[in-house]
C-alpha cells in the first residue's frame, strides 16, 4: 500500500504528526518518531498518555510525515492502530538511534512503553 516515496519519508529522519480523537470528539495531535514494519507504521508512547488512551478507545488514526528538507513533500496515512506493551522499550531505543544516534535515556521502571502499530487503510502522498 505504501509507495516508494512514502517509504522513503518514513525511513528517513522525518518527524510524524499523529492525530487521534479525544473522548469529546475534539482532535488531538502529537509529534512522534516513526518507523515501519513492511507497510505498517510503528511508534512508541507511554501507557497513560493522551494518544495512548485515545487509541485504546478509538483505534482510528491519521499520521502525517513531512520531509524535513521540503515540507511540500509529505504523506498522510490513515488507518487503524493496535497497541501492545511487548517490545516497547526496544522500539523506543531503536527510534532513538534513528533520530538521535544514541540509546534512549533511562526511564523509571514504572514507565511502561507501548508499541503502536498502524495498519494503513488510505494513503495520500
Per residue in 31-84, pLDDT tens? 999 999 999 999 999 999 999 999 999 999 999 999 999 999 999 999 999 999
Query: In the CATH scheme, what is the code of domain 4-124?
Result: 2.30.110.10
* Domain layout of the chain by residue ranges: 4-124
pLDDT value of position 85:
96
What secondary structure does DSSP assign to the chain, as a single string? ---HHHHHHHHTT--EEEEEE-TTS-EEEEEE--EEETTEEEEEEETTSHHHHHHHH--EEEEEEEETTEEEEEEEEEEEEEEESTTHHHHHHHHHHHHHSSPPPP--TT--EEEEEEEEEEEE-
pTM above threshold 0.85: yes
pLDDT value of position 119:
98
**b/e sequence 35-46, b meaning 16+ C-beta within 10 Å:** bbeebbbbbbbe
**What's the CA gap between 101 and 93, in Å, rounded?**
10
Amino acid at each position: 500500500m505504501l509507495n516508494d516515496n512514502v517509504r522513503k519519508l518514513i525511513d528517513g529522519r522525518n518527524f510524524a504528526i499523529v492525530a487521534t480523537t479525544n473522548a469529546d470528539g475534539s482532535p488531538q495531535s502529537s509529534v512522534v518518531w516513526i518507523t515501519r514494519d513492511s507497510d505498517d507504521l510503528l511508534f512508541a508512547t507511554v501507557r497513560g498518555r493522551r494518544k495512548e488512551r485515545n487509541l485504546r478507545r478509538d483505534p482510528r488514526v491519521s499520521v502525517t510525515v513531512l520531509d524535513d528538507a521540503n515540507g511540500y513533500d509529505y504523506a498522510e496515512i490513515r488507518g487503524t492502530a493496535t497497541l501492545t506493551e511487548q517490545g516497547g522499550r526496544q522500539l523506543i531505543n531503536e527510534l532513538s538511534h534513528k533520530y538521535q544516534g544514541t540509546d534512549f535515556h533511562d526511564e523509571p521502571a514504572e514507565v511502561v512503553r507501548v508499541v503502536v502499530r498502524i495498519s494503513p487503510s488510505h494513503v495520500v502522498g
